[in-house]
């Protein structure tokens, strides 16, 4: 058996999230169906770096799976032929037997995108959150973001449903930048709690449009109470960009 690592991109729009669920179209179930077909109906299951919610996109999700097959450089093509066009395998390589897509991950990078255009382009409706009449002050958002960089307890920034007990995470980088018609938040950390990036996006937007002060981000963080953080930003602005090992 060989252990393979694959990098996956998907448009999350028409999926009920990443993780397999009975009677739902999920990214994982499409990948596992393709793997099973390629292995002539032998059970082959993939393990991902983590799940993503319905509507969330990925350019660099990482999975691993074990296989008796040796397809050399034809893995990518073989899987893409079997996958629907909204999931693509962008890279495949053989890795050591102890490589683990989830437990071996040392960092993840996410991007959150808003669009400024007065009327949202119909081509963007699933790929960026329309700011509409809001014109957030990016400097204020950057100022607020400083309170999140570093090692903190992120209880206020994750879903109340989060099962994980340890809510301490390290954010290594958190930037906000206007890129053409978009406002782009990029965040890199050792790991993220459930809904953490979308909650951060919601809190920083509230600062940008003047509902909260940059200093409030520190107060929300220190409260360790999800109710302090306001609304989670919509799923369709979020992209899993990279997982590092």
E strands present in 11-116: 47-48, 57-67, 87-95, 107-115
Q: Are 53 and 234 in contact (CB under 8 A)?
A: no
CB of 86 to a copy of itself, least distance (A): 5
d(CA 84, CA 7): 16
* 53 catalytic residue (yes or no): yes
Determine the interface stretch with a copy of itself among 6-14, 61-69, 179-187, 193-201 (rule: CB under 8 A): 6-14
CA dihedral (104, 63, 24, 14) positive or negative = positive
Which one-letter DSSP state was computed for residue 53? -
Q: Which residues within the stretch 105-124 sit at the binding site for a copy of itself (CB under 8 A)?
A: 119-123
Is 116 known as a binding-site position?
no
Distance in Å, CB of 180 to a copy of itself, minimum: 14
User: Is 127 a residue that touches a copy of itself (CB under 8 A)?
Assistant: yes
Q: Which of 3, 76, 100, 218 binds a copy of itself (CB under 8 A)?
A: 76
67 in contact with a copy of itself (CB under 8 A): no
Cα–Cα dist 152/14, whole Å: 34
Residues in contact with a copy of itself by the rule CB under 8 A: 9-11, 57, 76, 80, 85-90, 119-123, 125, 127
């Amino acid at each position: 058996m060989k252990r393979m690592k694959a990098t996956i991109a998907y448009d999350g729009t028409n999926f009920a999230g990443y993780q397999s669920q009975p009677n739902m179209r999920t990214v994982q179930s499409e990948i596992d169906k393709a793997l099973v077909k390629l292995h002539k109906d032998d059970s082959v299951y993939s393990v991902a770096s983590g799940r993503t919610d319905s509507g969330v996109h990925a350019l660099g999700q990482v999975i691993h799976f074990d296989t008796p097959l040796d397809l050399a450089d034809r893995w990518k093509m073989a899987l893409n032929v079997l996958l629907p066009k909204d999931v693509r395998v962008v890279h495949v390589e053989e890795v050591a037997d102890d490589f683990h897509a989830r437990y071996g991950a040392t960092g993840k990078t996410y991007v959150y995108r808003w669009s400024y255009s007065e009327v949202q382009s119909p081509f963007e409706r699933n790929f960026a959150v329309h700011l509409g009449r809001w014109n957030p002050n990016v400097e204020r958002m950057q100022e607020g973001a400083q309170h999140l960089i570093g090692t903190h307890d992120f209880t206020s920034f994750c879903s109340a449903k989060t099962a994980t007990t340890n809510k301490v995470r390290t954010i290594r980088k958190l930037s906000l930048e206007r890129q053409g018609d978009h406002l782009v938040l990029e965040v890199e950390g050792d790991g993220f709690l459930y809904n953490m990036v979308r909650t951060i996006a919601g809190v920083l937007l509230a600062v940008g449009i003047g509902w909260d002060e940059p200093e409030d981000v520190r107060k929300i963080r220190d409260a360790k109470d999800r109710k302090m953080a306001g609304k989670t930003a919509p799923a369709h602005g979020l992209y899993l960009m990279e997982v590092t090992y």
